[in-house]
């Protein structure tokens, strides 16, 4: 039997297709999948249609957070399995976060985290001054989409990655001054932790 | 006669292989599984003392020894083997790790589920024949 390469050569994809896919995922969830048309384009209906739309949009925001965050979570777990192969063991939570800020961010978003802050009680603030996936997002678009919506997927990725490395946490994202964005990681603190701070 | 087991982060056995296949009686198989699970405690201790992923021999059982390899995601690959066979084990575990990553990358593979892929078990057996 011929010697097969165990690890396939890295395949490459146009980055623009990834960005378009991410944009469309968020739009799909925000505008609903029953009719994937923009609200501006549907007929300006009567009052009940508007109420329905508002309630619908709240539900959709929830669906957005849950589903897209969950998707990011799965992707983050798999990315970590793949990317952390050569890395030595990380013993403290801080080492895990530093790994995420440097190697993981470099592989996934092509740069490292710019500023890392912690309050030493399980809360880490990761600041990226020019987040790659939202560089081209417009800031004052009057549609229902906000820049934060596009950050649920990356937040899910970080959450999944950290959970896979053994750190139970929740991740939230903030894009007040896009393209600079801030990810806040809150680590659940058990009463007696075997992993030190 | 070697037994390989892969144990998930939540301590569920995800994969098991006996090499060469079917060479163990029911009783011997259960004893081997017991030896491997008992060695998990030693793995838990040993994994903090070494920064390496490959922990060599962590425990002994009669005339056999148990070697372990811990992934960053806390999956443990445990191998129960004869005492003298520990030369190519590091390379074996690294290759096994690569196969395992392929399974883990599958979006349809849920965490903690047993690995049922025939391709995976064929590859593992082939690898075992080369290295062991």
Is A139's Cβ below 8 Å from some Cβ in B? Answer: no
A135, pLDDT greater than 70: yes
Query: Is the CA virtual torsion A40, A141, A61, A29 positive or negative?
Result: positive
| Distance between A88 CA and the closest CA of chain B, angstroms | 5
CA distance A120 to B49: 24
Picking from A5, A9, A85 by the largest number of B CB atoms within 10 A of its own CB, the best residue to mutate is A85
CA-nearest of A59, A62, A80, A81 to A70 is: A62
The answer to whether the CB atoms of A6 and B98 lie below 8 A apart is: yes
Angle at the Cα of A113 from the Cα atoms of A97 and A165, rounded to 5 degrees: 25
Which CATH superfamily groups domain A15-36+49-187?
Trafficking protein particle complex subunit 3 (3.30.1380.20)
**Distance to chain A for B73, nearest Cα, Å:** 5
pLDDT band at A193 (very low <50, low <70, confident <90, very high): very low
Q: Rounded distance, CA B95 to CA B107, Å?
A: 21
Integer Cα distance of B77 and B47 in angstroms: 13
Q: What pLDDT is recorded for position A53?
A: 62
On average, the pLDDT of chain A sits at: 77
Domain parsing of chain B, residue ranges: 2-131
Return the pLDDT at A190: 66
Confidence category of residue A149, pLDDT binned at 50, 70, 90:
confident
pLDDT higher than 90, residue A157: yes
Q: How many residue pairs bridge chain A and chain B with CB atoms within 8 Å of each other?
A: 49
- Find out if CATH 3.40.50.720 is the number for domain B2-131: no
- Domain ranges for chain A, please list them: 15-36+49-187
- ipTM score assigned to the predicted complex: 0.71
Residues of chain B with pLDDT under 70: none
Give residue-wise pLDDT tens across range A43-94. 444 444 555 666 666 776 777 788 889 999 999 998 888 888 777 777 788 8
Task: Please answer whether residues B65 and B46 qualify as being in contact, where contact means their C-beta atoms are separated by less than 8 angstroms.
Answer: no
User: Tell me, what's the pLDDT at A32?
Assistant: 63
Q: Are strands B76-82 and B2-7 parallel, antiparallel or unpaired?
A: antiparallel
**Angle between helices A152-164 and A15-31 in degrees, nearest 10:** 110
d(CA B19, CA B125): 7
């Amino acid at each position: 039997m011929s010697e097969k390469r165990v690890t396939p050569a890295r395949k490459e994809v146009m980055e623009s297709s990834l960005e378009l896919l991410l944009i469309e995922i968020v739009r799909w969830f925000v505008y609903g999948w029953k009719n994937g048309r923009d609200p501006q384009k549907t007929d300006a209906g009567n009052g009940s249609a508007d109420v329905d739309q508002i309630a619908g949009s709240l539900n959709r925001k929830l669906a957005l957070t849950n589903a897209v965050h969950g998707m990011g979570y799965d992707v983050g777990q798999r990315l970590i399995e793949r990317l952390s192969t050569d890395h030595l063991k990380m013993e403290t939570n801080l080492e895990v976060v530093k790994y995420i800020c440097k190697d993981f961010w470099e592989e996934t978003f092509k740069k490292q985290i710019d500023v890392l802050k912690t309050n030493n009680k399980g809360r880490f603030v990761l600041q990226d001054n020019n987040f790659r996936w939202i560089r081209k997002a417009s800031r004052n678009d009057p549609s229902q989409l906000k820049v934060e919506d596009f950050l649920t997927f990356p937040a899910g990725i970080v959450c999944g990655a950290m959970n896979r490395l053994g750190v139970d946490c929740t991740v939230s994202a903030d894009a007040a001054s896009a393209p600079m964005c801030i990810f806040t990681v809150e680590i659940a603190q058990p009463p007696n932790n075997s992993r030190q701070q | 006669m070697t037994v390989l087991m892969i144990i998930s982060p939540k301590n569920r056995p995800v994969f098991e292989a006996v090499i060469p296949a079917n060479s163990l009686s029911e009783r011997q198989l259960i004893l081997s599984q017991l030896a491997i699970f008992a060695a998990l405690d030693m793995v838990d201790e040993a994994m903090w003392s070494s920064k390496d992923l490959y922990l060599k021999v962590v425990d002994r059982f009669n005339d056999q020894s148990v070697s372990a390899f811990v992934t960053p995601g806390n999956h443990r690959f445990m191998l129960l083997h004869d005492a003298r066979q520990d030369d190519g084990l590091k390379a074996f575990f690294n290759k096994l790790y690569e196969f395992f990553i392929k399974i883990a990358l599958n979006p349809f593979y849920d965490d903690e589920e047993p690995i049922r892929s025939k391709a995976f078990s064929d590859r593992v057996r082939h690898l075992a024949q080369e290295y062991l």
